[in-house]
Structures are given as structure tokens and as C-alpha cells.
Amino acid sequence: VFFHNALPFVGFGFLDNAIMIAAGTQIELSIGVVLGISTMAGNLAGYVEALASRLGLSIPDLTPKQADMWQTRLSAHLGKAIGVTIGCILGMFPLLFFGDEEEKLE
């Protein structure tokens, strides 16, 4: 249950952070102003989860009683939180390509 919830959120966090670092300002100034939205995160999560299921990430075979247990819910929420955290950290790779602003001013 943990891995089933964590893996799509690693992908989501990675893509969201990488795209927002690389092109966030332009997205905000063009599409965001026209449509009245601040980010595209809502649509991105659905695409990443669909891709994960196509790649073979199977849904855990749980009975309704097992799915309603507090341990299962905790595992699912922890998987999502840890997955998106790892994805966001990995998604910071575009920062390696940005120079220091102080160097440009001198």
C-alpha cells in the first residue's frame, strides 16, 4: 500500500518541481493569467497516476475491511507524503543549471 501510493507521487513531485523551476514564471505570466490559475498541479497528478498504472503498478488486493484499517490509511498517506517529498527533492535538478545572480551583475 505504501509503495503503491508513493511511486506515483515521486513522479508527480519530480515533474511538478522540475517544470515549475524551469518554466514556472512563463507559465504563470501567460497561461495562468488568462485562465486564472496559479499552477497546473491538479492535472499533472492524474496523468502521473495513469502512467504508473500503465507501467504495471498494481493495486494492492485488499478486502474492504483491510482497506478501511487505520494502518492501511496511515501507510497510504505516509506513502504519498514521502513520495512527493522525494520527488520534489529530485525535481530540483534544474537548479544545477542556473548561475548565480551576483555573477551576472558584476
Percent of the chain residues past pLDDT 90, beyond the cut = 21
For residues 27-51, one letter each, b for 16 or more C-beta atoms within 10 angstroms of the residue's C-beta and e for the rest, the string is: beeeebeeeeeeebeeebbeebbee
Residue 72 pLDDT more than 80? yes
DSSP type of residue 58: P
Residue 8 pLDDT more than 90? no
Domain ranges of the chain: 1-60+69-103
Report whether 6 contacts 83 (CB < 8 A): yes
At residue 98, the pLDDT reads 77
What phi and psi, each to the nearest 5 degrees, are found at residue 17? -70, -45
How big is the chain by its Cα radius of gyration, in Å?
Answer: 18
